[in-house]
Each structure stands twice: as structure tokens, then as C-alpha cells.
Amino acid sequence: MSWPEPRERAMPLVPQPFSGVSISRQSFFMGNRAVADSWSEFCPNLNIPQYRESLSEKKKTELDERSTKLLRGAICNQLYKSSEFCWDVSAWNDVFGQLYDDERFLMDKRPYEFLEVDDAGKETVKKRIPDATIGLKSYNEFHLRRGYICSVTDCTDDHSTIQPDDRLSEENLQAMMHNPECGLIVDGVWGKTELLFPFAVYEAKKTAQLHQQAEDQIYHACRTYLAMLDDLARNPDNVAEYQTKESSKYQLFAFASCGSYWQVFIASNRLDSCLVETIWEGDVKDFSRAFELICIVDQIRIMHKDSDLGAFSFSYIRGNPYDVDKYSDMGYFDSDDSDISSDSYGVDEISELLDFDSNKHPEWLRLKEQSKIARNNMLNETRKRNKRLRVAQGSKAAKELKKASELEKTRPRGLHPKNRVAKKNAPKHGRGKLAKTASKTITVALTQHSGL
């Protein structure tokens, strides 16, 4: 079996989504073997009865309780027509609760940034915000020195796998990210090193009518995050190739929920395209479907907590071919704290001021700041245009008011001209009382005749 060819990439690496996405549902609807499984990549065991048999009685009881809680929450949310927020809370607590509580992972609702190139070749940095992103947690120097300390006095669990890893040092990752020769992006937010190597993303909608919208958002997130993982799997000495054959097996998991109906996806690189495969879907108001979903999420969590698998399988983490010492002396500039949106500066002036076109800053920072400046300039132009329109409308209204006032002064006193004309043309009556109508006269005559 041949390995997928890398996308055409060149230094410096700037996260750019896969240009296309392929969608596969055959493994779920036709009961076929998942593509990820056939490519010797990780795929959760979808034979849930078989997976359940491998668990201890204690674990089975725990899964039953969690599934019942998920089921009841879904029924209540639908019964009371709960908002999307309530569905999100249920998902975070009942589906992703153990992932959220795990010391090794970070789960947050945070944006991801990506580079978009239009038909004219203009590059713009944009962002989107999924309902949740899950990845590894970085560590500062204090946590690296202290290590993980269990708060349970009589705990007998092995905590060796959750000790902070020096290769996830926030300081080292920041140094490599802000060095123009490296520019290593490890977080969906360019310039941050908090949620590293994202391996799962979640989108939620309140009703099934928004099902297609949720899927489209999932596909875009998969294209973007998978492209970032693709860059991390490259050989830093030659980005046209992967570090090892194992490095090409990066993948991303995705979850979408529309009310109580859930879907699980696996995204991977296939023939220079992002393949998003639906491996499971079901309504968690049914106990068996709720149980299956929790079992799948648990398998993904267990796989990624193992230091020899999951996100740690990247050669970057295991071998770290990037020379940390080479980049650690490089100071960095936090783009989020920069104050460069002054109205008195244009793109050219700011670029010259901060020297973004030089080799002192990484390419991603130059693109991000220039996009920010362009957006600010566009907003300023919109404000100025709206102000001119308001002034013009106000001037026009003032002229009309002045014209009406002058016209009012020229009118003679007394009745309105229209009223005078109407009165002048009205029919005139003679002196005395008005004559009785014919109908009234006939009525009086009949009355007199009947009285006779």
C-alpha cells in the first residue's frame, strides 16, 4: 500500500486549509470497514458489544450510569424545548466530561485562524469558532518543575503518564513559533501555545433543521486543523516530505450534534485531500445509542492519553527534530497585545514601522497583522462613508425644512388655500330653511292619509 503524497509546501509554513474535502459515509451505512482502520490508523472499536465484554464490571456500571444520564438530559432538553446552551452543557458534562477533567488535555470554545487566498491572490487571515476544541495542554516552567501532584492521599493509580512533558514547554514552543526560520504553529490561534495539537472538534446545533450547517462547519474545521497537523508532521529540513511514514498517519476526530442526534467523524489526509468519514451516528434518546457514543468517546480519550499513541505519535513530539536551543534565544512579539490599529496609520506606514516585510518576524505574524490593519482600515472607511451619508441626509433635510418654512411665510392668513377653493365652489342655498327631502315628504303624507 502506497503512502499519501504530501501537499506542496514550502518554508515558511503558514497554516492553510486543505483545498478540498472528500466525504465518506459508506463505513456507517454499508457496514464496511472504516478507511482509517484499513490504513492502519486508529479507529474506535465500533462493535460495542465486543468492546463492552473487554471491560470490568465496575467500568460497565459506570458506563451504564453515564449513558442513562445522557439519555435523560436529552429527553428533558427536547421536552422543555431547551436552548442551544442547554444542549451544549449536556454535551460537555455527559459526553466530554472525562476529557474535560483529564489533566493532560485542554477543552475550550476558542477560535481557529486560517489563511484564505482569493482569486486575485490576496491573502487574508480569517477565523471561525467551533463550539469546542480538544487538544494537549502546554506547561510553563513552574508546572514542569513541580510535576503532577495527586490530591488523593490513598491513591494507588500510576500517574507517570500524566506528568508534564518537557517537549510541551510553553516557553520553547513560543520561541520556535516566533522565530522566522521556524514559525511553528501548534495552536489554532496563531501566536498562542495553550491548546496544542488539536485532535477533536465539536459543533452543536439546537434542531435537526440546522444539520447541514453543522456538517459544513465540521468540514471546514477538519480541513483547517488537519492542514496544521500536516505541517507539524513535515521534516523541518525538507518540508516536501514527512519526518517518517508514521508521521503521515495524523488524524482528527469531529463530533456534531443537532439536538439529540449525534455524528462522529474521522478526518485524515487522502491523496492530497481532506477525507472526512462518518463512522457513527444515532439519537441519544435511545439508551443503546447513548451507550455507543460514550464508548466511542472513551476510546478516543484513552488512545490520546497514551504517550506512545495519538497526538504524541508525531515525530515532532517523540523525536523533536526542531532544534529548541537554536530558537530559544529569539525574542517574540505578541500580536494580540500589539496596538497598531491607529487611524493615523495605513498599511504601508505600519508595515514600515514594525518592519513586517523584513526577516525579523515570522511569516504568519506578518500576514496576521496586515490582515488586522486591512480590516481596521476597512472599518474606518465604512465609518467615514456612513458619517458622510448622515451629514448629507441631514443637510438635505435642513434644506427641505427651510424651504417649507419660507413657503409657509408667503401664504396669506386665514383658511388654507384648498379650503378656500372648496368653499368657493360649494353650492349656494337661498335664505330660510332647507327644503324637506322627497322621501320625508312622502312619509308624512302617508301618515296623514292613514290617520284619516
215 phi, psi to nearest 5 deg: -65, -45
DSSP category for residue 168: G
CA dist 42 and 444 (Å) reads 107
Looking at residue 265, what is its pLDDT? Answer: 95
Q: Residue 346, Cβ neighbours under 10 Å: how many? A: 14
Percent of the chain with pLDDT over 70: 73
Smallest CA-to-CA distance from 183 within 363, 369, 356 is with 363
CB 239 within 8 A of CB 10: yes
Is pLDDT of 108 > 70?
Answer: yes
Q: Report the distance separating Cα 143 and Cα 375, nearest Å.
A: 38
What are the backbone angles phi and psi of residue 220, rounded to the nearest 5°? Answer: -70, -40
Confidence of residue 98 (pLDDT cuts 50, 70, 90): very high
Looking at the chain, the whole-number percentage of residues with pLDDT higher than 90 is 30
Task: Report angle CA 116, 117, 121 to the nearest 5 degrees.
Answer: 160
So what's the pLDDT on residue 262?
96
Report pLDDT for 379. 85
**pLDDT score recorded for residue 281:** 94
**Interatomic CA distance for residues 366 and 374, integer angstroms:** 12
Q: Is 317's pLDDT higher than 60?
A: no
Q: What is the DSSP code (8-state) at residue 139?
A: B
Residues 6+ apart with CB under 8 A from 331: 178
What is the Cα–Cα distance from 63 to 138, expressed in whole angstroms?
Answer: 30
For the ranges 167-176, 283-292, 316-325, 371-380, the maximum mean pLDDT occurs at 283-292
Amino acid at 43: C
Q: Which residues contact 18 (CB under 8 A, 6 or more apart)?
A: 7, 223, 226, 227, 230, 269, 272, 273, 274
Residue 314, pLDDT score: 46
Q: pLDDT tens, 224-274?
A: 999 998 888 888 778 888 887 777 778 899 999 999 999 999 998 887 788
Least confident of 144-158, 355-369, 376-390, 417-431: 417-431
Q: What pLDDT is recorded for position 302?
A: 87
pLDDT on residue 257 = 95
The band of 303, judged by pLDDT with boundaries at 50, 70 and 90, is confident
The pLDDT value recorded for residue 287 is 96
Q: pLDDT grade, residue 33 (50/70/90)? A: low
Q: Phi, psi at residue 304, to the nearest 5°?
A: -80, -15
What is the total residue count of the chain? 452
* pLDDT of 331 over the 70 cut: no
* Per-residue model confidence (pLDDT) at position 221: 94
In this prediction, residue 215 has a pLDDT band, given cuts at 50, 70 and 90, of very high
Out of 35-44, 121-130, 388-397, which region has the weakest mean confidence (pLDDT)? 35-44
Q: Quick one: which of 363, 52, 338, 398 has its CA closest to 184?
A: 363
pLDDT at position 1 is 38
Q: How far apart are CA 400 and CA 77, in angstroms?
A: 57
Residue that the C-alpha cell 468519514 belongs to: 277
**pLDDT for residue 73 is more than 50:** yes
- pLDDT of residue 51 exceeding 90, the answer is yes
Predicted local distance difference test score (pLDDT) of residue 371? 84
Which residue in this structure is represented by grid cell 486591512?
Answer: 374
DSSP codes of every residue in 286-316: SHHHHHHHHHHHHHHHHHHHSTTSGGGGSHH
The contacts of residue 369 (CB under 8 Å, 6+ apart) are 335, 338, 340, 350, 354, 356
The CA distances from residue 154 to 62, 151, 197, in Å, are 21, 9, 33
Read off the pLDDT of residues 195-205 as tens digits, 9 standing for 90 and up: 998 999 999 99
Could you tell me the residue ranges of all domains in the chain?
21-328, 345-393
- What are the φ/ψ torsions at residue 193 (nearest 5 degrees)? -140, 60
pLDDT at 25: 78
Say what the pLDDT of residue 267 is. 93
Q: How far is CA 307 from CA 161, 162, 449, in A?
A: 7, 9, 119
Distance CA 110, CA 438 (A): 87
Checking if the pLDDT of 383 tops 60, the result is: yes
Looking at residue 340, what is its pLDDT? 40
